[in-house]
Amino acid sequence: MAVAEPRVDYRSLIARAIRILNSRGVMHKSGHVAARDANDPNRMWINSRKASRSTLTAADVVCCDIATGELIGGGDEPPSEYHIHRGIFARRPDVGASVHSHPEHVVALSIARRPLLPVTVDGAFLGAKTPVFDDAGHIDTPERGRMVAEALGSSAAVVQRGHGIVVVAGSVEHAVTRIILAEDNARTQYLAEALGTVQPLADEELARVAQHTASPKSIRKAFHYEEETARRKGDLDGV
């Protein structure tokens, strides 16, 4: 089955997103960025299974049917955990992009059974308490993908105990910056807990602060910074 080229160049966008996350140390040998196709919301784009996250190019991004998981338009197979994104896109029509990775401090907190809390301004999007999928195993079946989506609910992120985190947003750019901020927030929480009692943002602060950091201007600024920093390091060469 042929796939029409969308107005958004998802291949290039996802390739750059993966390289940025790899450059930032938020994604290593495994992990994926997925985007719902704006032209056909029943399809999604995702980095392929075999391509290295450090050298991934636009040619390594594939298109899949969300409902069936069928590969559309050829290319390498999608990652084994693409069911995470299929499950979320099917359950959450408001989600335009999702990222799954294994950031060190997020995982460490989950192993210690510490809830991921919004302790910084940039972590406000997490809400009062990030939900947890209490199973460290791979999400390699449609049923397990649906289970992760159910655990996520209406939240912006779900922690997978001893495994990683899934972050969602309306766009690839927003989802990328969110997972970076989630790990930054987790690192700060980790340090603060070593010093004493943690004081997360109060309920009355969360909505106000999260609204500011989710503005189009803030998203553009954050993604531009991450992209240009990776570019200056040479980590976007050949993307």
CATH number, residue 69 = 3.40.225.10
> What is the rounded CA–CA span in Å between residue 69 and residue 47?
14
Give the model's pLDDT for residue 2: 53
pLDDT band at residue 213 under the 50/70/90 scheme = confident
Residue 145 included in any domain: yes
Residue 237 included in any domain: no
Nearest to 20, CA basis, from 215, 167, 123, 173: 173
Assess whether pLDDT exceeds 60 at residue 231: yes
**Tens of pLDDT along 132-186?**
999 999 999 999 999 999 999 999 999 999 999 999 999 999 999 999 999 999 9
Cross-strand bridge partners of residue 77: none
Range of the domain at 43: 10-232
Give the model's pLDDT for residue 207: 83
Mention every residue, 6+ apart, whose C-beta is less than 8 A from residue 80: 49, 138, 140
Over residues 78-100, the mean pLDDT reads: 98
Q: Structurally, how many domains does the chain consist of?
A: 1
Helices 216-232 and 172-195 sit at what angle, rounded to 10 degrees?
Answer: 80
**Tens of pLDDT along 9-54?**
999 999 999 999 999 999 999 999 999 999 999 999 999 999 999 9
Residue 238 included in any domain: no
> What is the rounded CA–CA span in Å between residue 32 and residue 52?
11
Q: What is the residue type of 190?
A: Y
pTM: 0.94
Give the model's pLDDT for residue 212: 84
Residue 4 included in any domain: no
